[in-house]
């Protein structure tokens, strides 16, 4: 499982760097790792990217927080209730292997599915040169 995670992280990093010119915006605060460390594990943190492993069990909720632009890879099925600062609510579902590009965003998340949400997020800290 660990080798798969590293392989996925490498693929995500490559995809993220390919899109890095779009990532010049900084995410709004608060930082999810500082605010909810029980849900995040920092795998890589340097001047270009931060790679996070994310786990949220069914029924768990994260308060409002922000992410810079980047790529998210989902290891399994999950369903979320996502609330944005303007009050808009969505209920996205994800599947194993689903990979998305995410612009800088602020949101609160709740796992409303029956399985643990497990993802790898590659957050871009600055535009590439």
Number of structural domains the chain divides into: 1
pLDDT for residue 83: 97
In a domain, 129, yes or no: no
Say if residue 124 is preceded by a cis peptide, omega within 30 of 0: no
The CATH number assigned to the domain holding 34 equals 2.60.120.10
Query: Picking from 1-5, 36-40, 52-56, 78-82, which range would have the lowest pLDDT averaged per residue?
Result: 1-5
The phi-psi region of residue 22 (left if phi > 0; otherwise alpha if psi is between -120 and 50; otherwise beta) is alpha
In a domain, 28, yes or no: yes
Averaged pLDDT score across all residues of the chain: 86
In a domain, 9, yes or no: yes
Query: Higher-confidence residue: 116 or 28?
Result: 116
The phi-psi region of residue 87 (left if phi > 0; otherwise alpha if psi is between -120 and 50; otherwise beta) is left
pLDDT for residue 114: 97
- pLDDT of residue 39 exceeding 50, the answer is yes
- The two tokens of residue 62 are 């994260």
């Amino acid at each position: 499982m660990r080798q798969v995670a590293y392989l996925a992280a490498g693929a995500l990093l490559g995809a993220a760097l390919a899109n890095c010119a779009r990532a010049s915006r900084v995410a709004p605060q608060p930082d999810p790792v500082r605010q909810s460390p029980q849900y995040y594990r920092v795998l890589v943190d340097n001047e270009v990217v931060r790679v996070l492993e994310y786990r949220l069990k069914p029924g768990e909720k994260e308060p409002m927080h922000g992410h810079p632009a980047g790529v998210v890879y989902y290891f399994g099925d999950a369903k979320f209730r996502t609330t944005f600062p303007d009050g808009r609510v969505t209920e996205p579902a994800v599947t194993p292997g689903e990979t998305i590009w995410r612009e800088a965003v602020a949101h609160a998340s709740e796992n409303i599915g029956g399985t643990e949400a497990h993802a790898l997020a590659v957050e871009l800290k600055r535009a590439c040169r």
